[in-house]
């Protein structure tokens, strides 16, 4: 059930965009940590762990969200 639990590669791209979008839309002064992003995704029925969210973040070109509060 590996590919089953795994989202389609197309869905993964959409999830990454959602992460990037929510970070960009939310307050840069109060950045969303990967834990919060993970919680939001879980609320959207996208069940992935914090570890995975952090990896997606990196793939998006975002370093750590927390450090981005400098922007």
Partner DNA sequence: CAGTGGCACTTGTG
Partner DNA sequence: CACAAGTGCCACTG
The footprint of DNA (CB under 7 A) covers 1-3, 5-7, 12, 33-36, 47-52, 54-55, 57-58, 63-66
Least gap, CB of 55 to DNA (angstroms): 6
CB of 10 to DNA, least distance (A): 12
CB 71 within 8 A of CB 45: no
CA distance 60 to 19: 9
Minimum CB distance to DNA smaller for 2 or for 25: 2
Nearest residue (CB) to DNA, 7 versus 40: 7
CA-wise closest residue to 37 among 58, 20, 12 = 20
* Smallest distance, DNA to C-beta of residue 14, A: 11
Task: Identify whether the C-beta of residue 38 lies closer than 8 Å to the C-beta of residue 53.
Answer: yes
């Amino acid at each position: 059930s590996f590919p089953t639990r795994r989202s389609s590669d197309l869905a993964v791209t959409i999830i990454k965009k959602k992460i990037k979008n929510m970070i960009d839309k939310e307050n840069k002064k109060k950045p969303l940590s990967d834990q919060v992003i993970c919680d939001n995704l879980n609320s959207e029925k996208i069940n992935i762990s914090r570890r995975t969210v952090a990896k997606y973040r990196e793939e998006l070109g975002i370093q750590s969200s927390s450090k981005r509060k400098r922007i």
